[in-house]
Amino acid sequence: MSLLGHHMDRAAQYWSDDFVAPVPYYLEKNNNAKNLVICYGDSWTWGDRLGNADASKPISDAESRSQHIYANRLSEQLEADFVNCAIPGIFNYWIHDRLKILVENDIQRLSNQYQQIWIIVTLTEICREFKFPAYIQEFATFYNINSGSHKDILVQAEKFDFLKLLTISQQLPANVKLIVGRNFTDTFEDNKNILPNLMPVTWSRLLFEKQGMTDVPKIPMMSFAIKNFDIFIREQKLDSAEYKQWMSDEIFPESLKVLDLLDKSIYNNKTGSKHPTQQGHALWADYIYNYIYE
């Protein structure tokens, strides 16, 4: 049985279970180490473009990914086994639900088995969920989309994410620590104090800083989340002239600037969503390790 057996061997329980992974999403290294690292995320965490891995083909190349994803390097630094649970193209709500499953089924057993457990969540962009009716219905019970600006919707969507993670962190055993990071988008100032262990530097910004790239816009969305959010706004009949101007003046050009920087980065691949190279994964692992022991 795998370390997180209930991730794989259980009946569908949440609406996010309906998302079909294009490639196998579970990897683990179980050598009976004293500690455990559990990593959740999207294609960046999964390790797209490491070796021959290419989720668009789909080619998993689990052998190369298991050696070069940041979860492996971090586990070696922490003298730990690791689990990597990530899906290319996934949304943050799916990550929340995997954490619920972990808490409900596995974490107590694992906390008795290991001295220390670190759960590393590398969130993707907000608003990928806005294509799912179940998410929209739940978000509507949290925030009235007609009560503020279009930017307010984004801020509240992120807050919605963070509060769910905070609830999960409060249910963890004493020897389990939840650490949250971001891959290529930034956190709104209003939400930075919600989570006690939110790493201050994003994965992409870390790689930019290593290369002296300092003029980097702060963005909430960069890839297909922009399209999902735009469709949602239009369906809700909120696509005013003010909204179109805001998208045209801020969201699109700033996202394109970050994409351009990723394209120039030596630590990111040039195709797809500019996934980190092997060196890019190593730098993220080192950053997380230093954050843990700072």
Please report which confidence band the pLDDT of residue 6 belongs to, taking 50, 70 and 90 as the band edges. low
Per-residue pLDDT tens over the stretch 105-132: 999 999 999 999 999 999 999 999 999 9
The tens digit of pLDDT for each residue in 221-234 reads: 999 999 999 999 99
Per-residue pLDDT band for 7 (boundaries 50, 70, 90) equals low
The tokens of 95 are what? 């990550």
1 — pLDDT class (breaks 50, 70, 90): low
> Does the pLDDT of residue 183 top 80, yes or no?
yes
* Residue type, position 52, single letter: N
Identify the top-confidence range among 3-7, 23-27, 104-108, 152-156.
152-156
Break the chain into its structural domains and give their ranges: 5-292
**pLDDT (0 to 100) of residue 250:** 94
Residue 254 scores a pLDDT above 80 = yes
CATH number for domain 5-292, candidates 3.40.30, 3.10.450, 3.40.50, 2.60.40 = 3.40.50
What b/e sequence results for 64-90 when a residue is b if at least 16 CB atoms lie within 10 Å of its CB, and e otherwise? ebbebbbbbbbbebbebbbbbbbbbbb
Q: Annotate 78-128 with DSSP letters as a single string.
A: TTEEEEEEE-TT--HHHHHHHHHHIIIIIHHHHHHH-SEEEEEEEE--TTG
- Inform me whether the pLDDT recorded for 10 exceeds 70: no
Q: Model-level pTM?
A: 0.96
* Whole-number average pLDDT of the chain: 95
Can you point out the beta strands (E) in the chain? 26-29, 35-41, 80-86, 116-123, 176-182
> pLDDT tens digits for 66-109?
999 999 999 999 999 999 999 999 999 999 999 999 999 999 99
Distance in angstroms (rounded) separating the CA atoms of residues 174 and 189? 29
